[in-house]
Amino acid sequence: KNQVEQSPQSLIILEGKNCTLQCNYTVSPFSNLRWYKQDTGRGPVSLTIMTFSENTKSNGRYTATLDADTKQSSLHITASQLSDSASYICVVSPSMEYGNKLVFGAGTILRVKS
């Protein structure tokens, strides 16, 4: 069964600190992995997309890594800000095609406090 598991379920950090969120997946076949940020009551916003040949990709203070062999990904947030408080969702796509069914993780809820 295709699954995406994220850890931790929730996390509280102080403003300015770094943190790392984890994602393990069992999706097969595998095409690409995405990290989304979702603010409460809003739609998800894409942070990174990585194919199996990419090991790391950065978007500002967000850096995602991918190990396709162990089927693990991480999202590292540097110098956290209050605005980083959100749910971070790991999403795996089994295909390059447009309409394929993305497999969503349950998300990690991050709270950054001052």
Partner 1 sequence: DTEVTQTPKHLVMGMTNKKSLKCEQHMGHRAMYWYKQKAKKPPELMFVYSYEKLSINESVPSRFSPECPNSSLLNLHLHALQPEDSALYLCASSQILAGGPWEQFFGPGTRLTVL
**Residues at the site binding partner 1, with contacts judged by CB under 8 A:** 31-32, 34, 36, 41-46, 49, 51, 89, 93, 96-99, 101-102, 104-107
Contacts of residue 23, defined as CB under 8 A and 6 or more positions apart, other chains included, come to: 4, 5, 6, 33, 35, 72, 73, 74, 75, 90, 105
Shortest distance (Å) from residue 36 CB to partner 1:
8
Please say which residue, 45 or 79, places its beta carbon nearer to partner 1: 45
For residue 25, which of 79, 70, 78 has the smallest C-alpha distance?
A: 70
Please say which residue, 20 or 46, places its beta carbon nearer to partner 1: 46
Please say which residue, 62 or 104, places its beta carbon nearer to partner 1: 104
CB 107 within 8 A of CB 23: no
